[in-house]
Each structure stands twice: as C-alpha cells, then as structure tokens.
C-alpha cells in the first residue's frame, strides 16, 4: 500500500522540527514505519542546492533563480527520497513543501502564483501531500522564540516586513486550499500542540 505523505509548514521558529520529532516518536511507539525529511534538502543533491540557496553570501540571487532552485531541489528530493518511501508504504513527514514556495517566493518575494504553480506542476500533479499541517504562530513571535534571525541565513535575513507577508500569505493559502492545508494553534506548550496534531491526523485517518 502506498504510504501517507504529510507536510509541515510555518514561519521560521514555529517549532516544526520539534513537532515532527514528537510525531515521529508517537509513530515509532505505534510501530508505524516512517521517514523524517526536509525541503530544501533530504538527499545529497538537494542538500547541495540548499547550501547555495541559503548561503548569506549569495545576496545577488534573483527571486526567479531562488524559486527555480527550490523547485529543482523539490523534484530531486521527490525522486530520491519521498517517492521510494511512499512506494515502500512508509509515512513521509516532510518539513516544508510546495506551500513554502507559494508563501515565501509568492507572497514574500512577490512572484506570481501562476509562475510558481507552473514550475512546480510536477509536484502538484503527482505528489500532493495527503495533508499539510500549518503551525500557526505569527512570524514576530516565532523569531522571538528562536532569539532573532541567523546572520548567515539569506532567507532569515530578508527582514521583518518580508516575514510578515509570508505569514499573511499562509493565511490566504489556508483559505485557498481548505482541503489541503489545516492550521494548528501553537500558542500552548509543545506537548499541547503535539496532541492537537496527532488528533488532527487521527481524525483524517492518516495515522493509526
């Protein structure tokens, strides 16, 4: 049987990796085979592309180049990591996916959503997640939690206004894609959030 594909989205510092780790522990305790992976990255080639995209020294990168590199990392990651795991019947927990491109390169950078949908068509047509979980915490609070932006990370250095647009972008995407993406309130403790996520995934029949 084909495995389940679950993506996680949110602003910088929303706690995606913590929540994915807690969910992974839960799945392990239930004997559900799964992998944890991330975008951009996952495999060797996509991790190399990630370094180019995020490198603070690449300040001259155009927005279009950035969007195409994210899409390139995605197609490779799907081929070498996601698709094989799904074919083995494993659940795939992916840190960021297509809605990151829409929120960051679309709403954040100002590229057209039509262009982003076109360059990501391969992912949209063949590999939409069964559900995308949006960890809902405004960008300013998220940055507070992680004690400010990383000076070596080009995306984190994009500024407060950029990250506000990204957060508002996610809010618009939640309206545009109500079936595909669901918000989870992250204002409580990490364990409360984790319980909410597990309940959501159970209610959709995505985890046992």
Chain positions contacting ligand TYD, by CB under 6 A: 12, 16, 38-40, 54, 70, 95-96, 100-101, 104-105, 155
The residue (of 88 and 190) whose beta carbon lies closer to ligand TYD is: 190
The residue (of 29 and 59) whose beta carbon lies closer to ligand TYD is: 59
CB of 104 to ligand TYD, least distance (A): 3
The residue (of 100 and 193) whose beta carbon lies closer to ligand TYD is: 100
Q: Kindly state the helix (H) or strand (E) to which residue 86 belongs, with its residue range.
A: helix 83-87
The CA distance from 64 to 115, in Å, is 9
Q: For residue 179, give the 3-state DSSP assignment.
A: coil
The residue (of 70 and 170) whose beta carbon lies closer to ligand TYD is: 70
Q: For residue 153, give the 3-state DSSP assignment.
A: strand
CB of 22 to ligand TYD, least distance (A): 16
CB of 139 to ligand TYD, least distance (A): 10
The residue (of 105 and 132) whose beta carbon lies closer to ligand TYD is: 105
CB of 208 to ligand TYD, least distance (A): 27
Phi then psi for residue 205, to 5 deg, are 70, 25
CB of 144 to ligand TYD, least distance (A): 14
CB of 30 to ligand TYD, least distance (A): 26
Residues whose CB is less than 8 angstroms from the CB of residue 118 and which lie 6 or more positions away in sequence, other chains included: none
The CA distance from 166 to 182, in Å, is 16
The residue (of 103 and 131) whose beta carbon lies closer to ligand TYD is: 103
Phi then psi for residue 37, to 5 deg, are -145, 175
Q: Kindly state the helix (H) or strand (E) to which residue 75 belongs, with its residue range.
A: helix 63-77
8 Å CB contact between 142 and 11: yes
């Amino acid at each position: 049987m084909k495995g389940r594909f679950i993506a996680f989205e949110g602003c910088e510092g929303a706690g995606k990796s913590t929540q994915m780790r807690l969910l992974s522990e839960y799945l392990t305790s239930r004997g559900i085979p799964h992998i944890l992976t991330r975008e951009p990255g996952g495999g060797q080639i996509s991790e190399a592309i990630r370094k180019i995209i995020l490198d603070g020294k690449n300040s001259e990168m155009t927005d279009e180049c950035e969007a195409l590199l994210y899409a390139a990392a995605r197609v490779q990651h799907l081929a070498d990591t996601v698709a094989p795991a799904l074919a083995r019947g494993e659940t795939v927990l992916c840190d960021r996916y297509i809605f990151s491109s829409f929120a960051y390169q679309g709403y954040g950078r100002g590229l057209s959503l039509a262009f982003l949908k076109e360059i990501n068509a391969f992912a949209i047509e063949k590999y939409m997640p069964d559900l995308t979980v949006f960890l809902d915490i405004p960008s300013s609070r998220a940055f507070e939690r992680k004690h400010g932006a990383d000076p070596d990370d080009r995306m984190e250095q994009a500024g407060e206004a950029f990250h506000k647009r990204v957060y508002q972008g996610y809010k618009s995407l939640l309206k545009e894609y109500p079936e595909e993406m669901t918000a989870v309130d992250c204002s409580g403790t990490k364990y409360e959030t984790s319980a909410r996520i597990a309940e959501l995934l159970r209610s959709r029949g995505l985890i046992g």
